[in-house]
Amino acid sequence: MRISHFFLCVGIITLACLVYVWQNVCQMELSYQLLTQEKQITKLVDQNRVLRYNVLQLKSPAAIEKSLLAAKIKLKYTTPVMIAHSDTESRQLLVDYSQKPSFRERTKKALSAIFAFRSEVEARP
Amino acid sequence: MDRYKKKRIYVIYFCILFNLFFLSLRLIYLQIFRAPSLTHFAQKQYQMYIPLEPARGTIFDRNMRPLAINLTIDSLFSNPREIENPLYTAEVLSEVSGLEKRMLLDKFAQDKSFVWLSRHIDKDIAERIKSLSLQGIHLIKETKRNYPQARNASTILGFCGIDNQGLEGLELYCDAQLKGRPGYLLSSKDAKRRRLFFLDYDHLPPIDGYDVVLSIDSVIQNIAERELEKAVKATRALGGSVVVVYPSTGEILAMANYPNFDPNNFEAHSRDAFRNRAVTDMFEPGSTFKIITASAALEEGIVSPQDRFFCENGSYNMKTHILRDHTPHGWLTFREIIEVSSNIGTVKVAQKAGLETLYRYARLFGLGRKSGVDLPGEAGGFIRPLNRLSKTSIGAIPIGQEIMVNALQLTLAASVIANGGILVRPYIIKEIRDKKGISIKTFSPVRIRTVISAQTVEKMKQILIGVVKSGTGKRADVDKYQAAGKTGTAQKVENGVYSHSKFTSSFIGFIPVDNPVLAIGIVLDEPRPYYGGVVCAPVFKNVAADALQYLDSLSQDIKFANID
């Protein structure tokens, strides 16, 4: 075997080893990135759970009653006439949405669609 | 090569061989004999075992409003071996967390690598501790059971312990379904004890607990809780229960008890508040039992609503004792006897029917045995066997003495009349489903038996309407809806005799009479004033009025299961 062949073999083996080590280093880096992201996800999920829990607390009938009582607001129970249902199959729509919008509204809507205009309310986060 | 040189080579060669031999021996010793312990030692350094906690199932009401959920919360622990200055650590930690310094020092003195300091600590405190970065003090995430509706339905739901195990109520009853199965992860760790994602050795994923859907409607439950609390406070009663049942299927829509508790902070309450009185507490029903006496007499054709009985002007000598009415009455029809709740008239009817008939109907109505409701701790009630009834029994049982029932059983008695004479098994768990929403088990209504005929039911309905319209239950009359019911006021037994100052008041009824949607039972323990018609009937009225308005507002959206 010539010396050049020997060096070529050594070079190839070294390169293969380096690729293998580099792969492992990349794997470790990715692992740490994943770990950080997993922690972030867990934190956000936990925050989300807490917020949902707060919403549930606020939406609980006792909490609503308490806040209404504190604000001295008296509410009436709804009657079937007062409820608009989106489920048209089983019920008739009680609120008439079939009325055509005015020319001004239609123009505004069309322009908004083209130029992505948004009303002030929509623009707010 | 001279001889001396050769000798030196042999010596060196021998030395190398000798060393190699001993090295081989050492290698064999390490690789074979010490292998298990050294492997374990090495694994401990680079492997980590992560227990994976399953998510405990959520408890929902019938409209899928969550009643019990899990939140992640920090818990504080220490590794005393890592703490270099225990005194300083204890001082700082005590100041931030409010934990006792002496307790902390005791825990730091332990020769352990893991000691709990405080479980489930506040988020703010956890953040402050984290910012201190104290040596040997660590935070770990745990899940804690939380109840967004706090006191609402607390006595039904119960609560979980520190390790999320069910301790009371449905949390205990459904613990096997709710808790799930824990898993684990065997992974590699680096020098900083961080998990290396791509070097997992073994992984058993946890199986989350199943969700439980109840028949409870949290709005009706809140109405019942609110009205019960108002009544208990207004009458200075020791406690009470309200049970609301959908009569056709036996679905429990609300079961309120007072005193109740906040399951988010159950340690602050006495054990007395944990009790689901509606199923655990037995009492003598008093006049509400007259529903059963009347049904038995009508069903057997012994009386008709128009039959007249002389009510002895309020005092009836029964040889064994004198029976009295709270208001003296002369001649009354059978219908009027129930309307004004005459004890004498009822006993005279029962004398015609006989104890055996009465006993049989009490059993048919489900009294004296457990109703089979899927709640823990149900008391079965009590009726003495027929052969052990005494001579006084004929003057006692027809008016609801000498027998014991719970609030749920009593409500079911009204439910039988509302349901066309059919007794159904009450239930509170509608469905068990997995996290994906796939149903694991659905609970359907169970028809137990037909207790009385449709004709008797109609007669009973008219009589019970009379109780509410013109009898003792006037205060239960609800605007716009026709209600029917029966009041009850029972003397409590104290030291073996009937007390003249302590009473159990009750009202059972159903509404609307034409198509009963709600059967409601109210029981108050030692209220003042004590008449059921005065203290319990208004609770029925308020609960029924609000609940029906709420159901109306849902525009028939409420769906009840169909009976098999």
Mind listing the pLDDT tens digit for each residue in B4-20? 888 999 999 999 999 99
Note whether B553 contacts A79, CB cutoff 8 Å.
yes
Of B72, B198, B549, the CB nearest to A49: B72
Handedness of CA B412, B359, B523, B377 (dihedral sign): negative
pLDDT of residue A90: 43
Chain B residues touching A27 at Cβ < 8 A: 198
Q: Which helix (H) or strand (E) holds B450?
A: strand B446-450
Choose, from B97, B118, B287, B295, the residue flagged as catalytic. B287
Residue B118 to residue B94: CA distance in whole angstroms = 11
Of A28, A42, A62, the CB nearest to B150: A62
Q: Which residues of B451-465 are buried (b: 16+ CB within 10 A; e: fewer)?
A: bbeeebbebbbebbb
Q: Prior bond to B512 cis, omega within 30?
A: yes
How many alpha carbons fall within 13 Å on the CB side of residue A45?
A: 11
Each residue's pLDDT, cut to its tens digit, for chain B (564 residues) gives 578 888 999 999 999 999 999 999 999 999 999 999 999 888 888 888 888 889 999 999 999 999 999 998 889 999 888 888 899 999 999 998 888 999 999 999 988 888 899 988 888 899 899 898 888 898 888 889 999 999 999 999 999 998 889 999 999 999 999 999 999 988 888 888 777 777 777 889 999 999 999 999 999 999 999 999 999 999 999 999 999 999 999 999 999 999 999 999 998 899 899 999 999 999 999 999 999 999 999 999 999 999 999 998 988 888 788 888 888 999 999 999 999 999 999 999 999 999 999 999 999 999 999 999 999 999 988 888 888 888 788 889 999 999 999 999 999 999 999 999 999 999 999 999 999 999 999 999 999 999 999 999 999 999 999 999 999 999 999 988 999 999 999 999 888 888 989 999 999 999 999 999 999 999 999 999 999 999 999 999 999 999 998 888 775 444 455 554
Residues B240, B257 contacting (CB under 8 angstroms): yes
Residues B546, B489 contacting (CB under 8 angstroms): no
Q: Which residues contact B523 (CB under 8 A, 6 or more apart)?
A: B240, B241, B242, B277, B278, B283, B407, B410, B504, B505, B506, B536
A32 in contact with B, Cβ within 8 Å = yes
Helix (H, G, I), strand (E, B) or coil at A53: helix
Note whether B196 contacts A31, CB cutoff 8 Å.
yes
pLDDT of residue A91: 43
Q: Which residues contact B406 (CB under 8 A, 6 or more apart)?
A: B278, B279, B280, B281, B282, B283, B378, B379, B381
Q: Which residue has the tokens 């906690």?
A: B53
Residue B199 to residue B186: CA distance in whole angstroms = 9
Chain B residues touching A65 at Cβ < 8 A: 222, 226
Q: Prior bond to B529 cis, omega within 30?
A: yes
Q: Which residues contact A106 (CB under 8 A, 6 or more apart)?
A: none
pLDDT of residue B317: 86
Q: Cα separations (Å) of B46 from B32, B35, B186?
A: 21, 16, 10
What torsion do the CA atoms of B324, B327, B329, B333 make, to the nearest 10 degrees?
-100
Residue B173 to residue B165: CA distance in whole angstroms = 11
State the alpha helices, DSSP H only, in A1-123. 3-59, 61-70, 103-115, 120-123
Amino acid letter at B10?
A: Y
| DSSP-assigned letters across all residues of B493-520 | EETTEEEEEEEEEEEEEEE-SSS--EEE
Residue B438 to residue B275: CA distance in whole angstroms = 32
The values of phi and psi at residue B148, to 5°, are: -60, -25
pLDDT of residue A119: 41
The values of phi and psi at residue B297, to 5°, are: -65, -40
Chain A to chain B Cβ contacts (< 8 Å): 78
pLDDT of residue A111: 62
Chain A residues touching B142 at Cβ < 8 A: none
pLDDT of residue A89: 45
Residue B152 to residue B137: CA distance in whole angstroms = 38
State the alpha helices, DSSP H only, in B300-449. 334-339, 343-353, 355-364, 393-396, 407-418
Q: Which residue has the tokens 């998990």?
A: B195
Quote the tokens at residue B464.
Answer: 């019970």
Chain A residues touching B223 at Cβ < 8 A: 61
Note whether A62 contacts B225, CB cutoff 8 Å.
yes
Nearest Cα residue to B375 out of B493, B495, B276, B295: B276
Query: Between residues 28 and 87 of chain B, which touch chain A (CB distance below 8 Å)?
Result: 65-66, 69-72
**Residues of chain A scoring pLDDT < 50:** 88-98, 116-125
Residue A7 to residue A5: CA distance in whole angstroms = 5
Q: Cα separations (Å) of B467 from B158, B290, B472?
A: 37, 12, 6
Chain B residues touching A34 at Cβ < 8 A: 197
A125 in contact with B, Cβ within 8 Å = no
Nearest Cα residue to B157 out of B210, B218, B242, B207: B218
Of B141, B221, B555, the CB nearest to A80: B555
Query: Between residues 50 and 109 of chain A, which touch chain B (CB distance below 8 Å)?
Result: 50, 52-53, 56-57, 59-62, 65, 77-80, 83, 85, 91
pTM reported for the whole predicted model:
0.82
Of A35, A52, A60, the CB nearest to B152: A60
Nearest chain A CA: its distance from B224 CA (Å): 11
Residues B212, B59 contacting (CB under 8 angstroms): yes
- Residue B506 appears among annotated catalytic residues: no
Residue B443 to residue B414: CA distance in whole angstroms = 23
Chain centroid, CA B493 distance in Å: 28
Q: Cα separations (Å) of B521 from A43, B127, B243, B407, B517?
A: 46, 49, 5, 7, 13
| DSSP-assigned letters across all residues of B349-390 | HHHHH-HHHHHHHHHHTTTTS----SSTT----EE--GGG--
pLDDT of residue A81: 61
Chain centroid, CA A92 distance in Å: 33
